[in-house]
Chain A
Amino acid sequence: MPRVRLQAEPFDPGAETNAFLKGREETGAFVSFVGTVRSTPDKPVTSLTLEHYPGMAEAQITRFAEEALERFKLTDIAAIHRFGTMKPGEVIVMVMALSPHRLAAFDGANFVMDWLKTDAPFWKKEAGPQGENWVEAKATDDTARDRWKS
């Protein structure tokens, strides 16, 4: 069973990694993805707020994690996603995939992230010097997801 967690509180990706990997003698490949709040000089962001649809958000990520587990024959997979307001540099999301070999672990983490970005009910709102705006969905994210449909 994939472990999927949604929370408002910050979390430590290092501690999550160590906990996930503890006692895993029989697998050889671990891949994790960590997404953080970005702020650049040409597009400064003071905070990012993630709205979500409670219940459905968790159910969707769990569905993608279960599909990844099955499709890539993973040993285990886990995902953590935050909601609420966070600052630049803070962790938003983490996906961890474990498998006997590295390609499946990379693919599993990629698969979950690609589906999560377009099909899990979260919405980002950025605040910066120019005010607040809802982040627009990108067509490239749909393309990234669609490559897994074959």
Chain B
Amino acid sequence: MTPEVLQAEKVPATAPQAGAFQTGLKAMLPPVLTIAAFFLIWELACRLFRIPAFILPTPSSSVAALMQFAPAVAEHALQTLTTTLLGFALAVVLGLALGALVGLNRTAYQALYPLLIGFNAVPKAALVPVLVIWFGVGAVPAILTAFLISFFPVVVNVATGLATVEPEPRDVLRALGATPWEVFTKVSLPRSLPYFFASLKVAVTLAFVGSIISELAASNKGIGVMMNQAASTFQVPLVFGGVLLVSAMGVLLYAVFAVVEARMTGWAYRSQNS
């Protein structure tokens, strides 16, 4: 018999090697141009319409303000990054555990899902004062807010991934005498990884939101605190500098997890293309 050779897939369907860098650059071009255009229009609009700096500073003056206070800014940024990542890590660990429980067990799903929805519907900003009462002003409320806000997408995605595993591969393994643990590690877990990694991208940016919310409300360190202080002294360029900095950190971490996702679960996307 003749093996059906699929002509269309002679092009690198497995790991692309040569030219990957160039195609990567090409893919980078549109977003980089869009961002550049955004800042250019912002800058030009401010100058053209002579918008006062205390209403809308130019991006260049915002960056200049960051530079001016670089050592302090760096300290605040590091604080925000730390609380964000700690909260995010907590969200990943607990989200994975709860997501696995909910995704694998129908009863747990039915029992816990309404509670989770209700919990997620609470505006996290409303919880910050409570957290401050419990834990005092500082890093802990920021970590917990970051955790609370980024926890839900991880749970939902992991649970969805596990709950939607097709029965056939599981049946094949069970019929072969596989233990439930083997079925989990060989089928359910790899099958739900794309969902998990997709949730990480969302969760890490949300974690930043959580940290900043908490810092704005009550903290003594972090970008949120810096923005509050700058705003109270009408250093509006520094406020916007803080916004830019948080945004940049968010994009950076998003990119990190996008790369991790592509590395770990490329098969899920390639299989759709072929």
Binding partners A and B: no
